[in-house]
């Protein structure tokens, strides 16, 4: 089990859920929420990463808000100030990189809206060296990522069939931009899956087999490029 912490964010502070590995140290990973906020599924992912040897931090980008229905979550996402999100993510990366328990580089993993934000994280912070995005959905023009910052960095995108797999326009745009910058972007398709297939709190969309494979690929990314 982790604990809530506060970390600096552009002159202010942001809260987040921090989980430490049993060994006491390891590379850092930022865990970025879906549009539901910092809910149990997100903190459980941080706990799972800690169990695998990573120092995991899930920032509370909604500052305590937990939308209870899809229409409410859509409104919160639409109103989300991307400039503040950028500061929070960069702050989380800097906080992890400076913690004494963090002995390697920092990565980012996110889901749905967080999948896009995880990829953005590597374009925001020099500390973030690898990113894993599960079914990213936010249009890139809302973030205006500086793709050139991806030079020498690594990304994995997990693509659901419901979202159009790796052939989807947004996935292809990101992959081409990362590669043009001199980074690596590997896409994986999961046929027969729905959006949010990794979320085991949502049995109507959860896919155990796809989740198991995607998780193993994500851990491989981080173990290879963050140690």
Model confidence at 174: pLDDT above 80: yes
- Whole-angstrom Cα distance, residue 183 to residue 126? 13
pLDDT higher than threshold 80 for residue 1: no
pLDDT greater than 80 at residue 10: no
Q: At what angle do helices 82-98 and 113-124 cross, to 10 degrees?
A: 60
Stated pTM of the model? 0.96
pLDDT given at position 144: 86
Q: Whole domain around residue 149: which residue ranges?
A: 3-225
Q: Give the confidence band of 205 by pLDDT, cuts at 50, 70, 90.
A: very high
3-class SS letters over the chain = CCEEEEEEECCEEEEEEEECCCCCCEEEEEEECCCCCCCHHHHHHHHHHHHCCCEEEEECCCCCCCCCCHHHHHHHHHHCCHHHHHHHHHHHHHHHHHCCCEEEEEEEEEECHHHHHHHHHHHHCCCEEEEEEECCCCCHHHCCCCHHHHCCCEEEEEEECCCCHHHCHHHHHHHHHHHHCCCEEEEEEECCCCCCCCCCCCCCCCCHHHHHHHHHHHHHHHHHHCC
Listed residue (105, 121, 123, 199) closest to 158, CA to CA = 199
Query: Where does the pLDDT of residue 31 fall: very low under 50, low under 70, confident under 90, or very high at 90 and above?
Result: very high
More confidently predicted of 12 and 211: 211
Q: The domain spanning residue 32 has which CATH number?
A: 3.40.50.1820
Instruction: Answer whether residue 214 shows pLDDT above 80.
Output: yes
Number of domains in the chain: 1
| Those residues with Cβ within 8 angstroms of residue 75's Cβ, 6 or more apart along the chain or in another chain | 67
**Cα distance between residue 219 and residue 4, in whole Å:** 24
């Amino acid at each position: 089990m982790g604990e809530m912490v506060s970390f600096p964010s552009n002159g202010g502070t942001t809260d987040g859920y921090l989980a430490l590995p049993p060994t006491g140290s390891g590379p850092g990973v930022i865990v970025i929420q879906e549009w539901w906020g910092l809910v149990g599924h997100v903190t459980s992912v941080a706990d799972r990463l800690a169990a695998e040897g990573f120092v995991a931090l899930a920032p509370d980008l909604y500052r305590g808000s937990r939308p209870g229905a899809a229409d409410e979550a859509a409104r919160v996402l639409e109103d989300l100030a991307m400039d503040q999100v950028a500061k929070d993510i960069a702050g989380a990366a800097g906080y992890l990189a400076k913690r004494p328990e963090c002995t390697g580089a920092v990565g980012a993993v996110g889901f749905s809206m967080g999948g896009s934000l995880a990829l953005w994280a590597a374009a925001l912070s020099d500390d973030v060296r690898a990113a894993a995005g599960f079914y990213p959905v936010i249009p890139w023009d809302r973030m205006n990522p500086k793709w050139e910052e991806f030079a020498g960095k690594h990304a994995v995108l997990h693509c659901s069939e419901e979202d159009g797999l790796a052939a989807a326009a947004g996935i292809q745009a990101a992959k081409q931009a990362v590669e043009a910058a001199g980074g690596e972007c590997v896409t994986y398709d999961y046929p027969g899956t729905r959006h949010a297939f990794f979320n085991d709190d949502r049995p109507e969309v959860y896919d155990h087999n796809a989740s198991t494979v995607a998780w193993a690929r994500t851990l491989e990314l981080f173990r290879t490029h963050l140690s």
